[in-house]
């Protein structure tokens, strides 16, 4: 009588060899993957060393260029504070054009196109001349109303309105205010 009893079928035993072959393929693939990753890491380290050397060279050039820069002579006089103060006061009095243009761009109706915007001083007040065209008379009326409601413009006047074949040309004049 046998001392061991084999409970596995013959087919299962035959599959063991196939599993070993798969394991060896897996092991070979994993080895190749590791070698590729190590190679890429090595290339990265080499490139980092090259970049470090180039950075050192550029920093040396930077230091040399800074040393070549000559300081300003001591006899150079800084602009007076009065001139700076005058400039600041003038800038405070001047309109902030970015805000004004932004306000205009928001209030212009869909059927109105502006062709020019001009600003000028007349009789101690700032005036803005707005020229453009619209597809409807209602568009021009809506623009006038929107400008009147804006806190940058008041006393909006019509300089001229002319009906053409396809559109209506207009020029408006408005007083400007800003804070």
| 109-131 core/surface letters (b: 16 or more CB in 10 A; e: else) | bebbebeeeeeeeeeeeebbebe
Interval 92-117: pLDDT, tens = 766 677 778 888 888 899 999 999 99
pLDDT for 77 beyond 60? no
Looking at residue 7, what is its pLDDT? 62
Q: CB neighbours (10 Å) of residue 92? A: 8
Looking at residue 46, what is its pLDDT? 94
Give the distance from CA 129 to its chain's centroid: 32
Entry pTM:
0.48
Across the range 63-82, mean pLDDT stands at 70
pLDDT for 120 beyond 80? yes
Looking at residue 168, what is its pLDDT? 92
Reference 131, options 168, 94, 166, 102; nearest CA is 168
Interval 48-57: pLDDT, tens = 999 999 999 9
Strands 125-134 and 153-163, bridge-based pairing? unpaired
Reference 128, options 139, 118, 114; nearest CA is 118
């Amino acid at each position: 009588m046998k001392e061991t009893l084999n409970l596995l079928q013959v087919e299962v035993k035959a599959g063991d060899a196939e599993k070993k072959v798969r394991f060896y393929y897996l092991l070979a693939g994993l080895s190749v993957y590791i070698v590729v990753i190590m190679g890429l890491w090595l290339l990265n380290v080499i490139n980092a060393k090259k970049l470090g050397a180039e950075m050192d060279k550029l920093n040396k050039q930077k230091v040399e260029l800074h040393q070549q820069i000559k300081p300003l002579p001591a006899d150079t006089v800084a602009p007076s504070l009065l001139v700076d103060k005058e400039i600041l006061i003038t800038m405070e009095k001047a309109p902030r054009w970015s805000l004004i243009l932004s306000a205009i761009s928001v209030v212009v109706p869909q059927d109105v196109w502006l062709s020019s915007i001009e600003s000028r001083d007349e009789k101690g007040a700032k005036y803005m001349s707005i020229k453009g065209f619209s597809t409807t008379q209602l568009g021009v009326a809506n623009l006038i109303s929107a400008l009147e409601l804006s806190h940058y413009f008041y006393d909006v006047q019509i300089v001229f309105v002319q009906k053409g074949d396809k559109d209506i040309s207009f020029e408006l004049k408005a007083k400007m205010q800003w804070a």
